[in-house]
Amino acid sequence: MNETGYDFTIENLGERTIPSPVVVNYYTPDDRRILFNIDPVHFADRKAPDGSPLSVEVAGPREKIFFDPSKTKAAIVTCGGLCPGINDVIRAIVMELYHRYGVRNIQGIRYGFQGLVPKYGHALMELTPDTVKDIHGLGGSCLSSSRGRQEIGEMVDALRRMNVDIFFCIGGDGTMRATENITREIMRRNLSIGVIGIPKTIDNDLNLIQKTFGYDTAISEAVRVIQCAHVEAKGAPHGIGLVKLMGRLSGHIAVGAALAQSETNFVLIPEVPFDLDGEKGFLKALEQRLRERQHCVILVAEGAGQDLMPHNGKEHETDASGNIRLLDIGLFLKDRIERHFQTVGLEINLKYIDPSYTLRSVPASASDSIYCSALGQYAVHAGMAGKTGMLVGLMKDEHVHLPLKAVTSGKQVDPMGNLWMRVLESTGQPPSMKN
């Protein structure tokens, strides 16, 4: 973002001179754009660098392309944590390249960015329609993945040695930052390698992106878990079903699951601070709920309540991707709930469920699979047209091109917004659990 607003300019490798082999009723011109400033209250001051209304380039096949399909070599990499739909994106990219554009040389980079670094010794995987035809029915990534930073120069050296023309990167916020740095190094060296990102985060917390793939599947799987927690809670006197869901910095999965399954009674997310003790605290509200209704279901996002736990000097520890290591709010909350009810002399039956890895490892749901196919196809159209340093995503119900630098994590649930209001209405929990 510059001083006057976002810069949504998309870089191109050069002039497009080759007629596209893709036959469609309508080619998408570069000047087809959608307005960004649909909310005059919040975005009226945001302009393009030239002072014009801020707009975003729409995705789709171009009439002329940059790369000659018969001579094009593409590579695909998946990085970071697993997420439903990765295989669907890989399959869509391969099928689009092979059948629509006639690209025959497609390589899979194994184990994330490690696969580009010689010291790891990871072999490449040749990707063809035969090798990917059934992978959409499987969870995870057929290319596997890894976390951690790799040296940018080494990775660009590998792409150059391999004669890669288009590099497709599937990953989250950290992967997109690394992809942007790879793009910069490629441009510094004046290489004709296009770099296209496909954003992946199950938490659905990327700014500007309407929805990230895997989120719908996570909600569907979380609903199954909530149903089980509700059965367990109702199956015993003063039963409590406590479910911990993914959501490091945002509670989108917990919020979506609660709205999809109205048997939830409390939703605890990072965006809404709460106290445990005191007359207005969570434990008192929970006690009142149990005395009145005899059972309760609680959803807690993994990043919620981090300020309530003793860190013992570990608050600055990070994982391989540079993320702050979170303390386990689920186990902490379980212990505090049990101790509270021992103190007040009320016997409870608490069942704690942590389905995190189940949610991210399953195959994509039908809606996610449709979305992933579109992302893969639009990524190929952009790559063959010679676009670079960009990603494809959904914005205002349109698939668009966005510069890598414009998209970062940080989209949160607004505690004063309509979405959180609907959660409060659905659960019946107090609007505030702060003393």
Cα-based distances in Å from 278 to 133, 273, 310, 334: 57, 14, 19, 18
Helix (H) or strand (E) holding 427, with range, is helix 418-427
Q: Are 326 and 306 in contact (CB under 8 A)?
A: yes
Residues in the chain: 435
CA 409, CA 255: separation in Å to the nearest integer? Answer: 18
The whole-angstrom distance between residue 142's C-alpha and the CA centroid of its chain comes to 18
Look at strands 55-58 and 64-65 and give their pairing: unpaired
Could you identify the residue written with the tokens 């150059």? Answer: 160
User: Side chain identity at 124, as an amino acid letter?
Assistant: L
Dig out the tokens for 145 from the structure.
């993945």
Q: Are 210 and 406 in contact (CB under 8 A)?
A: no
Could you identify the residue written with the tokens 């554009």? Answer: 101
Would you state the torsion angle of the CA atoms of residues 335, 359, 427, 434, taken in this order, to the nearest 10 degrees?
A: 50
Look at strands 266-268 and 295-301 and give their pairing: parallel
Instruction: Examine the residue annotation and report whether 277 is marked as an active-site residue of this protein.
Output: no
CA 175, CA 195: separation in Å to the nearest integer? Answer: 12
Beta bridge partners of 318: 324
Annotated catalytic residue: which of 203, 205, 275, 354? Answer: 203
Coil vs helix vs strand at 119 = helix
Helix (H) or strand (E) holding 341, with range, is helix 329-344
CA 246, CA 225: separation in Å to the nearest integer? Answer: 13
* Burial status of residue 404 (CB atoms within 10 A of its CB: 0-12, 13-18, 19 or more): buried
Active site residues: 203
